[in-house]
Amino acid sequence: MGRILFLIFGLAGLGILLFLGTWQLQRLTWKEGVLAQIESRVGATPVALPAMPDPKADRYLPVAISGEMLEGEVHVLVSVKQVGPGYRVISSMEVGDRYVLVDRGFISLEAKDTPRATGPMEVVGNLHWPDEIDGFTPEADVDANIWFAREVDQLAALLGTEPVLVIARSKTDPGITPLPVSTTGIPNDHLQYAITWFSLAVVWAAMIVYFLRRSRNHPKG
């Protein structure tokens, strides 16, 4: 009776592990499709700025805008691989009779107070509404102009623009390195998770076989 209960428990556990591994493979297929869709949209031909951009329907939409880059900027702390910490420069831009936010790109910590180009210019980039705030995100140090997330509504209220952010992929200043929208920051760890679950399933199956053989070789009495 004990062997039967153990076998039932063991097979149930093995089934759960195999199910989790298979589910992660399904998630991998889904995520790869999403990333491919994002990549294809990010690199599409830029269009004019929509009259009323929608945070869902227009996320990653390539746009080309022209107008006047205004003075005043917000610095959002960021770290770039193989470069180190620095700031994203967020400015307001007058586009016709509208005002929008522009993420101009990366500067080093030392360049925080360096004057940057303003005035008439054209910007090619992608619309984005980043979701970067969680329970561990510190409050912005407004006096020191150090922010820790690109919260579009807050930045728009501060700089007097629409809650619309264009992530530049074209240069807006010789000292600013664009950080364009890409899929590199979107995690896709489903294959590793699947391997983990299937590896655990192999170990679990081996344990079942081991204990069944041991109980057979050591009968009661």
Please write the tens of the pLDDT for every residue from 145-194: 999 999 999 999 999 999 999 999 999 999 999 999 887 767 778 889 89
**Residue ranges covered by each domain of the chain:** 2-38+190-217, 50-168
SS3 196: helix
The stretch 109-113 carries a mean pLDDT of: 95
Long-range CB contacts (< 8 A, 24+ apart) of 138-141? none
Q: 165 with 101: CB under 8 angstroms?
A: yes
Q: Is residue 221 scored above 60 in pLDDT?
A: no
The pair phi, psi for residue 105, each rounded to 5°, is: 130, -155
What fold characterizes domain 50-168?
A: OB fold (Dihydrolipoamide Acetyltransferase, E2P) (2.40.50)
The sign of the torsion formed by the CA atoms of 67, 68, 74, 78 equals: positive
Distance CA 121, CA 166 (A): 14
Average pLDDT, the chain: 90
**What's the pLDDT tens digit per position in 59-80?**
999 999 999 999 999 999 999 8
**What's the pLDDT tens digit per position in 49-63?**
999 999 999 999 999
Q: Is residue 220 scored above 60 in pLDDT?
A: no
The stretch 122-143 carries a mean pLDDT of: 91
Q: Is residue 83 scored above 70 in pLDDT?
A: yes
Q: Is residue 203 scored above 80 in pLDDT?
A: yes
165: nearest Cα among 19, 70, 63: 63
What does the angle CA 195 – CA 198 – CA 203 come to, to the nearest 5 degrees?
120
